A and B are shown apart, each in its own frame.
Chain A
Amino acid sequence: MHIDATERKWMYVSLVMTAVMVFVLAFYAVASNIRPPSNVETIDSDRLHLTKEFAEDNLGVKPNPDGKGLVVTMVAARYGFYPQHIKVPADTPIRFRIASFDVLHGLDVPFTNLSTMVVPGYVSEVDTEFPKPGEYPMFCNEYCGLGHDHMWSRLTVVSKGSAEAHQK
């Protein structure tokens, strides 16, 4: 078998390039605790309204019972994320917990790290913080039926020290 010397060099260059990329990704995944939403938690989507956590009265923003920060509990259902307007302070650890009432959905807030699929039968959990106050759309980014275009809700991030942030 014949391998040209130049090609052999290129093989080493390719291997080193790939190794560097993987190392950088692995390093930041560990060092900054970056992980995609992966909590592997099941739920009966047909009986969502009967569960304690996802019953209509319990949705919305609450203090996190496990420690500092807030928990936002939401239900995705055709065609909206409920509650339809969420207001949270900036620079605060926030845990989103979302379940689907019907079909596949995807929650995405552009220009932030909040993105997850919402899969019937499973609970999605994302930990994030919002550094920049402002008004953000929460888009459904997974085809969920003919009304998919119309599925969106609002997220308001207020600065941490503001009066609004203390009202809660």
Chain B
Amino acid sequence: MNDSHVNRLSLANYWVGFLALVAAVILGVFQVAERADLLPDGLESPVLYFASMSTHGVLMAYVLTTFVVVGFGYHTAATSLKQPLWNRPLAWAGFWVTLLGVLLAASVLLAGRASVLYTFYPPLRANPLLYIGAALLVVGSWVWCLQMIMMTLTWKRAHPGEPVPLVQFGNTTNATLWLWTSLGVAAEVIFQLIPWSLGLKDTVDVGLARTLFSWTLHAIVYFWLFPAYIAMYTLVPRAAGGRLFSDEMGRVAFILLLVFSVPIGFHHLYMDPFQAAGWKFLHMLGTFMVMLPTLLTGFTIIASLEIAGRLRGGRGLLGWIAALPWKDPLVLAAIQALLVLIGGGFGGAINASYAMNTMVHNTQWVTGHFHMIWGGTAVLMYFGIAYHCWPKLTGRRLASAGMARAQLWLWFIGINVLTIPWHVLGLLGQPRRISSTPYDNPLVAQWYPYELAMVAGGLILLVSALLLIVNLARSHGSDAEADREMLYAEPVHPVLSLPKPLNSFALWNWIILIYMVASYGYPIAQFFVLKTYGTTPWGI
């Protein structure tokens, strides 16, 4: 089945996401150059730097991610379930609301009236349009969540007792995850920041605001990562010429991500004084549980790749690796993404550690970490997905698979050149979120070579991002027609029936509710019990 409306909607979403990426990479290059003191005097200004950094964060973290998740979701839902969108006008309305939110936020971000970074940081006050734009973006994304859930329910009614296709089980998990995840930031923005920025409320409780933001702040990265994981399970094994090692373990991994990623946000608040140590410890335990689905995913995907490599004639302990189709952009992206995930996962375990976090908190280590694991693993997979899906969406073959591979290699190299020195800067004590290093201290000289390496990494990434746009745009006009049919990986053992909890979400929603009340109930309630003092707004 090939639904041209779905293709148009999906392409529109992908394009907004990838154009946001290019804009954000250009800003990123400006930022590394500014910090390394390489710009002419006229451009060296904290006003420009923090406006740029706030825009970069919003574009990368909210715009690229949300639009790619949505574009991927609509396309894979329609092709795997072989049914139309649940409500087409509503789906388009969601797209326009999200885009309107982005434009409103961008208008004040680019004017330097909302330089509070993408994490908002009250009591710094931005122009209210930033918060209103962010709220619209979230509301627009909820439309997608509703569509995913309703499409799955419609399919289940027509196919009683049958397993939901793994790809759509993943999309529905992500939709459910995002509904839970976004409640925290939505509550902060709607009940605290919007009324306060409009002057309807005099003060804001920063402790409560940060607690609500932490609710969203960890699980949001899984919302971004989900399409990457879904594609690894359902597209990569087939593209590599093999089969998925285990369909069931994919479901188990998705469910573990759903249950354990929201109630654990306090590892972002380890150094904050307004939550007691016991709660932080509880959240740390959950944080380590989130390692499990990633460890399981690593195993299942590598096993699936090994099956493919051996089917293609690979022999010996490691010979199957050389036999993989490295020329397929999706397979190449998956291999690169898994390699980056090793470093990113290691750094994440250090950040999550109750004691070691002290050494790296708010240093450049942290920014290095999330650029590696998200800008590396997740974004490389976004590229791989785009190259894989473009021919199905446009009906045209890629203009050049070789250029696609070159783009992926440039990104893989660029992200390593950027983020490995970035981690080192953190270990050498450089604080994050600075536009220059005006400290009278010998450390500054030690930092400098690493800052230069980061500029090189940023430039490589810029070339790669521009090449991405060229590759995708050229492919729309490619002469050769392509087969539009989306084929998903078959598991080694066909899934004929499943225990109910691996095919539906009711049980898991109840478990999350109980877990959330246990881990966030009192920590939020305390702000209404304690005698707290709100803070008046401050300009930047």
Contacts of A26 in B (CB 8 A): 281
Interface centre among B300, B362, B531, B539 (most CB of A within 10 A): B362
Give A134 Cβ to nearest chain B Cβ, in Å. Answer: 11
Residue of A4, A22, A42, A122 touching B285 (CB-CB under 8 A): A22
In the docked arrangement, what's the CA distance between A13 and B101, Å?
45
Kindly identify, within residues 268 to 296 of chain B, every residue whose CB is under 8 Å from any CB belonging to chain A: 270-277, 280-281, 284-285, 288-289, 291-292, 295-296
B528 contacts chain A at the CB level, 8 A cutoff:
no
9-residue interface stretch from B61-69, B245-253, B463-471, B507-515: B245-253
A146 contacts chain B at the CB level, 8 A cutoff:
yes
Give B134 Cβ to nearest chain A Cβ, in Å. Answer: 17
Contacts of A29 in B (CB 8 A): 281, 354-355
Q: Are B291 and A40 in contact (CB under 8 A)?
A: no
Q: Are B532 and A121 in contact (CB under 8 A)?
A: yes
Q: Are A2 and B292 in contact (CB under 8 A)?
A: no
Q: In chain B, what residue has the closest Cβ to A6? A: B303
Q: Are B50 and A143 in contact (CB under 8 A)?
A: yes
Q: Are A43 and B499 in contact (CB under 8 A)?
A: no
Kindly identify, within residues 13 to 58 of chain B, every residue whose CB is under 8 Å from any CB belonging to chain A: 46-47, 50
A125/B273 contact (C-beta < 8 A), A2-B248, A36-B358, A110-B429 known: yes
Contacts of A133 in B (CB 8 A): none
A161 contacts chain B at the CB level, 8 A cutoff:
no
B478 contacts chain A at the CB level, 8 A cutoff:
no
Residue of B273, B280, B295 touching A41 (CB-CB under 8 A): B273
Q: In chain B, what residue has the closest Cβ to A43? A: B533
Q: Are B499 and A137 in contact (CB under 8 A)?
A: no
Q: Are A38 and B273 in contact (CB under 8 A)?
A: yes
Contacts of A106 in B (CB 8 A): 271, 361-362, 431
Contacts of B289 in A (CB 8 A): 18
Q: In chain A, what residue has the closest Cβ to B429? A: A110
Contacts of A17 in B (CB 8 A): 291, 295
Kindly identify, within residues 78 to 106 of chain A, every residue whose CB is under 8 Å from any CB belonging to chain B: 102-104, 106
Q: In chain A, what residue has the closest Cβ to B540? A: A145
Contacts of A7 in B (CB 8 A): 245-246, 249, 296, 299-300, 303
A113 contacts chain B at the CB level, 8 A cutoff:
yes
Residue of B296, B303, B433, B536 touching A14 (CB-CB under 8 A): B296
A10/B299 contact (C-beta < 8 A), A108-B361, A121-B205 known: yes
Interface centre among A6, A18, A36 (most CB of B within 10 A): A36
Contacts of A148 in B (CB 8 A): 46, 433-435
Residue of B355, B359, B530 touching A28 (CB-CB under 8 A): B355
Give B295 Cβ to nearest chain A Cβ, in Å. Answer: 4
Q: In chain A, what residue has the closest Cβ to B251? A: A1
Contacts of A37 in B (CB 8 A): 271-273
B2 contacts chain A at the CB level, 8 A cutoff:
no
A75 contacts chain B at the CB level, 8 A cutoff:
no
Contacts of A147 in B (CB 8 A): 46
Contacts of B499 in A (CB 8 A): 1
Q: Are B246 and A4 in contact (CB under 8 A)?
A: yes
Q: Are A103 and B429 in contact (CB under 8 A)?
A: no
Contacts of B361 in A (CB 8 A): 106, 108, 115, 141
Q: Mark A136-167, 1 if CB is under 8 A from B, else 0.
A: 01011111111111101000000000000000
Q: Are A149 and B273 in contact (CB under 8 A)?
A: no
A73 contacts chain B at the CB level, 8 A cutoff:
no
Residue of A6, A103, A149 touching B434 (CB-CB under 8 A): A149
Contacts of A11 in B (CB 8 A): 296
Q: Are A3 and B274 in contact (CB under 8 A)?
A: no
B87 contacts chain A at the CB level, 8 A cutoff:
no
B83 contacts chain A at the CB level, 8 A cutoff:
no
> B residues near A, CB below 8 A?
46-47, 50, 115-117, 121, 123-124, 205-207, 210, 245-246, 248-249, 270-277, 280-281, 284-285, 288-289, 291-292, 295-296, 299-300, 303, 349, 353-355, 357-359, 361-363, 428-429, 431-439, 441, 443, 493, 498-499, 502, 526, 530-536, 538-540
> A residues near B, CB below 8 A?
1-4, 6-7, 10-11, 14-15, 17-18, 21-22, 25-26, 28-29, 34-46, 102-104, 106, 108, 110-111, 113, 115-125, 137, 139-150, 152
3 nearest CB pairs, A to B:
A110-B429, A141-B431, A141-B362
